[in-house]
Structure 1
Amino acid sequence: MEESIGLLSSSDKASWKDYLALCKPKVVLLMLLTVFVGAFIASPDWPDLMRLNIALLGIGACAASGAAINHMIDHRLDAKMARTKNRPIPKGVVTPLQGLVFALILAICGLSLLWYQVNPTTAWLTLFSLIGYAVIYTLFLKRATPQNITIGGLAGAMPPLLGWTAMTGQIEPNALLLVLIIFAWTP
């Protein structure tokens, strides 16, 4: 397994499937389901489907970015565990730098979509969720306490609020209740 600083240096050529694996698509789809629910609950009649689809795309890109950052940060630990040793970065088909660049592109695209096509509130909340998961949870909580899931669960509980604010542009008590329900359910 060749480690390199170069963007294009790895022992094998990465495929689109390797980059998709960095995104943790099953986890992202579950998150997007709760975004969808939040958007529908926030809409008095039927949500604006164009705005909803753009929100799902932007939030999904940011969630995938967080997953890729998680892969990049944890690649040394992942290389030691049977369950995770064949992930793209520990396997050496994607370098940590390639994973980081990929994650940053996803985040910039997702946040830009949210800011310009949905609303700034949703973009800010999505950024806070991304930082909560990729930095606070992955870098600090995961290594510091067995209660990491409980404390870090707030980032995972945010998607219904993101769906809500995508439709309304506002943080409202009912949206916060949705976050609380998922946060309490997480552990």
Structure 2
Amino acid sequence: MRNITMTLPTARSSLTWSWKELLGLCKIKVVAVMLVCTAVGMALATPGLPPLANVVMGLLGIGLASCGAAAFNHVIDRHLDAVMTRTSRRPVASKRLPVVVALGWATLLSIAGVVLLAWQVNPLTAALTFASLIGYALIYTAFLKRATPQNIVIGGLAGAAPPLLGWVAVTGQISPEPLLLMLIIFAWTPPHFWALAIHKCDDYSRAGIPMLPVTHGVPFTRLQIWLYGWLTVLATLLPIMIGMSGALYFLVVLCLNARFMVWNWRVWRGLDSTAPIGAFWFSIRYLLGVFGALLLDHYATSLSW
């Protein structure tokens, strides 16, 4: 009896630890930002409130598939992660979680997400989600990331898919509006990630990953952040140009763009060593703000009618 009492807490602790590690593979914060953009795509797809079943099942399925893609990323990048300070404590890279367990978890999440979408939402959403999963987990992580300094630009297409997935989950079809929303995220991704790449340039160099500041130098990358920042600003104005959004969105996004470009200007000047990481963190709030403004303007306009 004494031996049983002593071993039970140990077994329970091990089980809790395993689930924490499995959740750690899912990049919950990143997926949360993606789901916000997905939800906005759902809302903008219809003048009123989108069908609740499509919203719930769509977000659940897309969320599961996104977590699966993130877990595949942990598995494929485990050797690179192990030599980088930023990622060395990840569950698979630090060998706290066996590769076979992580791979099984990634497969389970991915299949569950895609099947749920095909069953409860529509086949097109399931197909596009599967394509995004393959694009991120295999094309970007396994190939582009190691092959070209333009990895973020090319691979950014998969990361830009959430608003399209949300729109299609409600309408069942692709139209120009969600592609425009994708363009905003697509243009935003390089200045967002290259700011982090500058901050962690030594890490990427040590891991042998051809990120832009490693292959072309930090000054060149700062210039690209500045230029892509302006491209992002232009992309955020397109909803106004096509009549998708109105004055409220314009006023909010004008303020967001001003602050966004101040951060990019600080990075471009290269006089403040903390500017890249500051710009990186602000860019996340910026993207959420842009999509929040789209949502606010959409329902403000609907109520006015």
Q: TM-score, normalised by structure 2?
A: 0.56
CA shift digits 1:71-119 (9 cap, x unpaired)? 0001111111122111111222211111111011001110111000000
Which residue of 2 is the match for residue 174 of structure 1?
177
Residue from 134, 139, 151 that aligns with 2:142: 139
Which residue of 2 is the match for residue 102 of structure 1?
105
Residue from 62, 66, 69 that aligns with 2:65: 62
Distance in 2 (alpha carbons) for counterparts of 1:186 and 1:78 = 21
Distance in 2 (alpha carbons) for counterparts of 1:44 and 1:111 = 27
Distance in 2 (alpha carbons) for counterparts of 1:78 and 1:177 = 34
Give percent identity, aligned residues only.
Answer: 57
Letter in 2 for 1:172: S
2:120 is aligned with 1:117: yes
Distance in 2 (alpha carbons) for counterparts of 1:17 and 1:54 = 24
Q: CA deviation at 1:166?
A: 0.3
Distance in 2 (alpha carbons) for counterparts of 1:94 and 1:134 = 19
Partners of 2:18 and 2:97 within 8 A in 1 = no
Distance in 1 (alpha carbons) for counterparts of 2:161 and 2:84 = 29
Letter in 2 for 1:164: W
Letter in 2 for 1:117: Q
Structure 1: segments with no counterpart, 5+ residues? 1-11
Partners of 2:54 and 2:170 within 8 A in 1 = yes
Residue from 62, 86, 91 that aligns with 2:94: 91
Which one has more relative contact order, counting CA pairs under 8 Å at least 6 apart?
Answer: 1
Structure whose residues are more often helix by fraction: 2
Moved over 4 A (4+): none
CA shift digits 1:122-150 (9 cap, x unpaired)? 00000000000000000111001111111
CA shift digits 1:35-92 (9 cap, x unpaired)? 0010000012111112101100100000000100000001111111122111111222
Letter in 2 for 1:35: T
Count of residues in correspondence between the two structures = 176
Work out which of the two has the higher radius of gyration on C-alpha atoms and give 1 or 2: 2
Q: CA RMSD in A?
A: 1.1
